[in-house]
Amino acid sequence: MARFTKPKITSKLLRRKVSKVANEDFGTAGKPVNTSHPFYFGFMVTIGALLALTMLQALASASAVFILIIISIFLAAGLNPAVLFFQNRGLNRGASVGAVMASVLLFVAAFIAIAVPPLLDQGNQLLENAPVLIKDLNNNAFINDLNNKYGVIDSLQTRIDSLIKDGQFAITAFGGVIGVGKAVVSGLVSTITILVLTLYFLASLPQVINIALRFVPATRRDRVSKLTNAIVGRIGSFVGGQAIIAALAATFILIMGLIIGMPYPGPLAMVVLICGFIPLVGHFIGMSIVTVVSLTDSLTTAAIALGAYILYVQIENYVITPRIMRKSLAIPGLVTIIAALLGASLLGLVGGLLAVPIAAAVLLILDEVVFPRADQA
């Protein structure tokens, strides 16, 4: 029986097919566009303005999604040094990203398990002890003097009594519960979205940087690559510095709580640790939670906790933060404060979060590109 042999495609035949496709006629290239012509300039300016307007409208309509993407990119750049730490010890990029994200998820789970139940318990105790706390406030000479002048406690008590008598208290409370439920669900969805986007950005960060560098001319690609890596490194330094600052604040709350007998000092320290990553208003949130929980113990404990926390925040703002950020980002403390204020005023919390590393990147570009050219002029 004759055997059927499949015909082999030789390299010569392959080259003939490739050359046939390569030599296919697609027409003759036209003359180069005269970029100096006024019509060309006006056309490009018009197209650029229309594209900018379209982008602004798109960003405005999808601002929430855009904010989540910006936060995810920022977190990916901030966690990149941790990924490089594992890579330098023999793990590949995927395994390193998995180890870092597993550590993040473990910390989030530990925070929920350790901090949330005691805080809920303290909230219930606070509601139960509210009448006693109001009575203690009335018995305090300073608070009583303020009440006699401005009627703060009496107005609060009258408002609560009217709500209860009119039957509006249950409706208000029910509406508040619904609002809190919506906020919790929205926050949970946003958190999951940020974690997933951060995972993808962190895994593909080198590829994204390489694709972006393809738009740079080859003669300047090496220098731009080094500047880009330096900027990503400074963002990582900022996240590391912010983690140190938040850890110091949490340590202070833990030690202070143990000294003055504050309820649940450990969970409150974890809450302050999380709040330390929120720009500008983070300490205000942490201070409010610490003070409210301390009220369940006594008015004196709450006053001491509030005063000590305010004092620590001042020390952190004017001593600790400028020193750490100047060391990790190599930017002056005054620039750090001004950048955070400007960023928060322009873009809110996200602006305050991104302002300091952006300022560090701008200073790096000025030092490496702008100032040397000015010195040579």
Residue length of the chain: 377
pLDDT at 14: 45
Quick: pLDDT tens for 319-361.
Answer: 888 788 766 666 776 777 788 788 877 777 777 777 877 887 8
Q: Of 292, 293, 275, which is closest to residue 284 (Cα–Cα)?
A: 275
Res 323: pLDDT:
80
CA distance 273 to 292: 17
pLDDT at 262 (0 to 100): 87
User: What's at 177, amino acid-wise?
Assistant: V
The structural domains of the chain, with segments of one domain joined by +, span: 63-370
> What local confidence, expressed as pLDDT, does residue 306 receive?
92
pLDDT of 122:
66
Residues of the chain with pLDDT under 70: 1-27, 29-37, 59-63, 119, 122-144, 146-147, 149-184, 279-280, 326-330, 333, 377
Alpha helices in the chain (DSSP H): 11-22, 38-61, 63-87, 93-128, 130-139, 141-150, 152-166, 168-203, 205-213, 218-260, 265-275, 282-295, 299-315, 321-329, 333-365, 371-376
pLDDT in tens, 53-73: 887 777 666 667 777 888 888
Residue 294: the pLDDT is 85
DSSP 211-261: HHHTTS-HHHHHHHHHHHHHHHHHHHHHHHHHHHHHHHHHHHHHHHHHHHT
